[in-house]
Amino acid sequence: MKGMASGVRNGGPKVEFDQQVPYDQYVRATTLHSLQRPVTSDPGEMSFLMISQVMELYFGLIRFELQQIQDRLRADDVWGALAPIRRASLHLDGLNAAWRGLGWMTPVDFQRFREQLGEASGFQSAMYRHLEMLLGLKSATLIRPFKRQRDVYQALTDGLAAPSLWDDVVALLGRRGYAIPQELVDRDFAAEYEPSAEVEAAWVKIYHDDRPDNELRLLGEALTDLVEKYGHWRDQHVTAVRRTMGAKAGSGGSSGLAWLQNRAAQPVFPELWSARTEM
């Protein structure tokens, strides 16, 4: 091709291209590396900023996978849902590992640049709100900070009103013949989910059928792995805040550690856990 190296030489890669390097064109690496703009001269801020950005990318990736799971469940393709659940679980491993990059930070280290962040807080992550809502953690209050960002707020409002992944699981159980109350299937999805004895009973029955081809039992275990890893992320978040801030008020206006602990205590996929007491 005109302007390009004639081919691989001596087993090495091509080193001449007409325009932008194809890797950079695909990955947008130059753009990614231009997005780190610390507001102080403290060298530790770069770790905090970049790892926060890495976490944001993982939030978006996990959200994508949760939506893929929903699509498969709505099509009654439980086997097909297992692959994106597996991928999401592995992405959560990566997300959890990101905390290790901040393990060096003491309260004194954080205070060197914290004040320059102003009111900025991880509490204000729109993508994390999307992730929470897909996992069934709905709160109209927590999307209010985005009212001035019209497109972001509209997307969050739509997410609040849409079924969570657990709502889709519950609907699937109803279609599979389990005694799921219709009011659970037709509920106001923006409202906080209330655990159901009927959903719990359905999972007890599913788990007692231990045939290797029981796809609903495999679904239950895959979802359990997923939410367990999400719980690890929440726990590490609490630990990181306790380690770097103690019980100080949060920069976003919350009470800080106490508020975060209350959020972390909210159950995800509740009947999948409570059913284990009845098995």
Question: Which tokens sit at 127?
Answer: 């993508």
Placement of tokens 């703009």 in the chain: 37
237 is in an annotated binding site: yes
Measured at the CA of 83, the angle between CA 81 and CA 89, to 5 degrees, comes to: 105
Cα Rg, the chain, nearest whole Å = 22
Q: Which of 272, 238, 243, 273 is nearest to 258 (CA)?
A: 238
Q: Which of 131, 104, 137, 273 is nearest to 200 (CA)?
A: 273
The runs of H, that is alpha helices, within 144-196 are 150-161, 165-175, 182-185
Query: Residue 164 carries which DSSP code?
Result: P
Which residue ranges are tagged as binding site for heme? 237
Return binding residues for substrate.
114
Annotated binding-site residue numbers: 114, 237
